[in-house]
Amino acid sequence: MPAIVLVGAQWGDEGKGKATDLLGDQVDYVVKFNGGNNAGHTVVIPTPNGPEKYALHLLPSGILTPGVVPVIGNGVVIDPEVLFAELDGLDARGVDTSNLIVSSNAHLIATYNRTIDKVVERFLGSRRIGTTGRGIGPTYADKMNRIGIRVQDLFDEKILFQKVEGALDQKNHLLVKVYNRRAIPTEAVVEELLGYVDRLRPLVADTALLLEQAMGDGKIVLLEGGQATLLDVDHGTYPFVTSSNATAGGACTGAGIAPMRIERVIAVVKAYVSRVGEGPFPTELLDEDGERLRLNGHEFGTTTGRPRRCGWYDAVIARYAARINGVTDFVLTKLDVLTGWEQIPVCVAYDVGGVRHDEMPMTQTDFHHARPVLEYFPGWDEDISGARSFDDLPPQAQGYVRALEKMSGAPFSAIGVGPGRDEIIQLRPLVG
């Protein structure tokens, strides 16, 4: 049976958590394949006592669906303190987390990497990336530098000590001599990490093997991406990106799944665009429209609480996401947030120094200078949060959606009209 990939099409916070939750009861496994607790997914679940809101960071959003096996894949970087705090938080709310499986090959975020993330950002000053400060970049850098600490290292105390000592050998020079900080003793790091061993051991498995066996047995695997296409370290707006592959290709390496297993690639795309942190953003609105999008859409970071930068829908980005990820289905989210505008601008192409670009410019310099070529679509005033079929939408909202779909490079299969699980218009099935 197949694997399905779900990724973000823009700069994150498109509503991937809600989309995963929507698919939860149609899949057997949900695998997080990249990133760590830089992600923040808000999922709103209906209960007899009213809607319950969950904010997930490190755990796959599928953990909220009873019966699903949530998996943290090898491509993820794990802060063990956050892992157990998040599990405890869910346990306290009655969510069964006992099925969770963690890859033995996933890397661990050690305290020194959190420290380095923060001091480097401070050191960069105006050239900062605006990271989440969770140690993500330094941990992936260690992985590539082959000085990372993996989950399996916790099970061999001697190796763990050697590895931490090796990593700190370089880092302490940097911390003391360049960043004017105190050296971090190996013993303290090892001791902290060993404190997690007993709780971690029963969760750890060869997840790639397990997933292959599960698919062989007819199970359906959903590969859930953190971050998004334009935050991908290879395909995003480098250097203003995260340090992992958040695009569909990253799902294969980050979960250990063969490309031919993937049958469907779903990209979640917001009806406008938001971005947290620094970096270019052609349709960004610094005026009252931007403020209105932020307020109507509650665009404040789930992870850091930072206000998200907001702008109009950018079809160049959507087409790029469709191409890089091989998108078979878009899930359009937050259409309801656009209610109340007389007309809604959409970026259909860029103007770079007088030259029209229908595709992403080849260089970052051109992307920095890209000015949106806007087309205007009539808006609507009706509350659309109760719409459950396309025909329930006012004609202007239908026109807006159809226009976006035409210019975005793949069919729209669902449309979000509110944060709740049922606030969605399903146009065609996303699984099967």
With CB cut-offs between 5 and 8 Å by kind, which of Mg ion, ligand GDP, ligand IMO, none does residue 334 bind?
ligand GDP
Among 9-17, 126-134, 308-316, 329-337, the segment contacting Mg ion (CB under 5 A): 9-17
DSSP-H helix ranges across 343-428: 364-369, 395-408
Tell me if 40 contacts Mg ion by CB under 5 A.
yes
> Cα–Cα distance between 21 and 424 in angstroms, integer?
12
Residue 227 interacting partner from Mg ion, ligand IMO, ligand GDP, none (CB closer than 5 to 8 Å by kind): ligand IMO
Order of strands, sheet of 424-426, starting from the edge strand that comes earlier in the sequence: 204-205, 101-103, 69-72, 29-32, 221-224, 3-8, 262-270, 329-333, 412-416, 424-426
Q: Whose Cβ is closer to ligand IMO: residue 8's or residue 416's?
A: 8
Instruction: State the catalytic residue, choosing from 41, 57, 107, 235.
Output: 41
Q: Does 8 bind Mg ion (CB under 5 A)?
A: no
Q: Which runs of consecutive H residues, i.e. helices, occur in 64-185?
A: 80-92, 111-124, 136-145, 157-173
Question: Does residue 24 touch ligand GDP according to CB under 6 A?
Answer: no
Closest separation in Å from C-beta 228 to ligand IMO: 6
Quick one: which H or E segment has residue 253?
helix 248-255
Catalytic-residue membership of 41: yes
> Which region, judged by CB under 6 A, interacts with ligand GDP, from 343-351, 360-368, 389-397, 411-419?
411-419
Nearer to ligand IMO by Cβ, of 124 and 209: the residue is 124
Nearest to 45 by CA among 94, 5, 84, 6: 94
Region of 101-109, 112-120, 366-374, 410-418 interacting with ligand GDP (CB under 6 A): 410-418
Residues 290-329 that bind Mg ion (CB under 5 A): 302
* CA–CA separation, 65 and 71 (whole Å): 13
Residue (of 20, 61, 76) closest to 243 by Cα position: 76
Q: Write out the two tokens for 395.
A: 């004609």
**Which residues contact ligand IMO (rule: CB under 6 A)?**
8, 11-13, 38-41, 129-132, 134, 136-137, 226-228, 231, 242-243, 276-277
Which residue is at the shortest CB distance from ligand GDP?
416
- C-alpha 179/C-alpha 313 separation (Å) is 41
Q: Which of 302, 325, 328, 408 binds ligand GDP (CB under 6 A)?
A: 302
Q: Is 334 a binder of ligand GDP (CB under 6 A)? A: yes
Residue-wise over 113-143: b if at least 16 C-beta within 10 A, else e? bbbbbbbbbeeeeeeebebbbbbbbbbbebb
Q: Is 14 in the site for ligand GDP (CB under 6 A)?
A: yes
73 or 416: CB nearest ligand GDP: 416
Is residue 290 part of the contact set for ligand GDP (CB under 6 A)? Answer: no
Does 70 bind ligand GDP (CB under 6 A)? Our answer is no
**With contact defined as beta carbons under 8 Å apart, do 305 and 388 qualify?**
no
Q: Which does 130 bind (CB under 5 to 8 A by kind): Mg ion, ligand IMO, ligand GDP, none?
A: ligand IMO
The count of residues in the chain is 432
Query: Which residue has 């953990």 as its token pair?
Result: 63
CB atoms within 10 A of CB 45: 16
Applying CB under 6 A, does 17 fall inside the site for ligand GDP?
A: yes
Nearer to Mg ion, 38 or 115 (CB): 38
Contact 309, 281 (CB under 8 A): yes
Q: Using the rule CB under 6 A, is 18 a contact of ligand GDP? A: yes
Tokens representing 351 are 């103007």
Q: With contact defined as beta carbons under 8 Å apart, do 154 and 160 qualify? A: yes
Closest distance to ligand GDP from the beta carbon of 226 (Å): 7
The reply on whether position 21 binds Mg ion by CB under 5 A is: no
Residue 17: which residues within 8 A CB-CB, separation 6 or more? 41, 42, 43, 56, 61
Among the listed residues 132, 349, 418, 425, the single contact to ligand GDP using CB under 6 A: 418
- Which of 158, 181, 139, 45 minimizes the C-alpha distance to 56? 45
Span of 40-48, 117-125, 167-175, 188-196 interacting with Mg ion by CB under 5 A: 40-48
Decide: is 62 part of the binding site for Mg ion (CB under 5 A): no
Q: Binder to Mg ion among 5, 7, 10, 13 (CB under 5 A)?
A: 13
User: By CB under 5 A, is residue 278 in contact with Mg ion?
Assistant: no
Of 186 and 242, which CB lies nearer to ligand GDP in the complex structure? 242
CB atoms within 10 A of CB 269: 30
- Find which of Mg ion, ligand IMO, ligand GDP, none residue 60 binds, CB within 5 to 8 Å per kind: none
Report whether 289 contacts 243 (CB < 8 A): no
Which residues contribute to the site for Mg ion (CB under 5 A)?
A: 13, 40, 302
Which residues contribute to the site for ligand GDP (CB under 6 A)?
A: 8, 12-18, 39-42, 44, 298, 302, 333-334, 336-337, 416-419
The catalytic site residues sit at 13, 41
